[in-house]
C-alpha cells in the first residue's frame, strides 16, 4: 500500500511536474537496500545520472544518519555551467561507448579543482540524513554519490522522473539517442 501511495502522491507529483516544465514520464517504484557494512560500490564515485534534468525522489524507510550511508549531493551542481559542458557533450554523443567509457563520473581531484575554480556554480557536499518517513527530492543531473555503510542499514523507496519521455536512469532519453545515432 505504501508503494502505491508514494507513487501517486499528489504533492510529490506536482513538485516534480512543475520542476520538469509540466511534462514527465511515468515512474516506477523501486527499493534501495544497503546492508553490507564497509562495502564499496560504483555509486560511491561522484557522478551525474544524465546531462538532462532527472528527478529522483527518496522516501526514507529507516532513520538515516551519517553512519547509514546517506545520499550526498553537491549544491548548485545541477545547473548548466562551463565546468560540465564537455563531459555532458561526450556523454550525450555516446562517443566511445563501445569501450564502456563513462564521462559522467568525477574524481576527487576534479571535484576539488571545480569547487575551488567555480564556487558560484558548485559548492559543498550535503549528506542527506533524515528520519523514517522523510522525503528527499533531487535533480540527479547534479553531482551526487553514495556513501559507505558503517552501521545498521539503509532502506528507501525511490521514484525517478525525466521530462522527455522514455528514459532509463543513467541514460539519455531513447528518442534523443536515436537522433544522435541517425546523424552519423
Task: Tell me the per-residue pLDDT of 160-174, one tens digit each, with 9 for 90 and over.
Answer: 998 765 555 445 556
* CA distance readout (Å), 158 to 46, 64, 87: 19, 15, 26
Rounded Cα–Cα distance for residues 109 and 145 (Å): 15
**Stretch 15-24: mean pLDDT, rounded?**
88
Helix (H) or strand (E) holding 18: helix 10-19
Contact 35, 153 (CB under 8 A): yes
- DSSP letter for each residue of 91-157: HHHTTTGGGT--TTB--HHHHHHHHHH-TTT---EEEE-B-TT-EEEEETTS-EE---B-SS-EEEE
pLDDT tens profile 44-84:
999 998 888 889 999 999 999 999 999 999 999 998 888 88
DSSP secondary structure code for residue 29 in this structure: -
- Total-model pTM: 0.80
Amino acid at each position: 500500500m505504501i508503494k502505491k501511495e508514494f507513487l501517486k502522491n499528489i504533492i510529490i507529483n506536482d513538485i516534480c511536474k512543475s520542476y520538469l516544465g509540466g511534462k514527465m514520464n511515468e515512474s516506477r517504484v523501486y527499493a534501495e537496500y544497503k546492508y553490507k557494512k564497509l562495502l564499496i560500490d560504483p555509486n560511491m564515485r561522484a557522478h551525474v545520472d544524465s546531462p538532462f534534468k532527472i528527478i529522483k525522489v527518496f522516501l526514507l524507510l529507516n532513520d538515516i544518519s551519517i553512519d547509514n550511508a546517506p545520499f550526498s549531493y553537491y549544491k548548485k551542481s545541477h545547473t548548466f555551467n562551463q565546468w560540465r559542458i564537455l563531459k555532458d557533450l561526450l556523454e550525450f554523443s555516446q562517443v566511445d561507448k563501445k569501450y564502456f567509457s563513462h564521462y559522467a563520473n568525477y574524481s576527487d581531484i576534479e571535484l576539488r579543482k571545480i569547487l575551488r575554480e567555480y564556487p558560484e556554480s558548485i559548492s559543498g557536499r550535503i549528506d542527506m540524513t533524515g528520519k523514517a518517513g522523510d522525503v528527499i527530492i533531487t535533480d540527479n543531473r547534479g553531482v551526487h554519490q553514495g556513501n559507505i555503510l558503517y552501521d545498521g542499514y539503509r532502506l528507501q523507496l525511490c521514484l525517478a522522473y525525466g521530462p522527455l519521455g522514455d528514459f532509463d536512469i543513467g541514460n539519455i532519453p531513447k528518442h534523443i539517442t536515436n537522433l544522435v545515432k541517425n546523424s552519423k
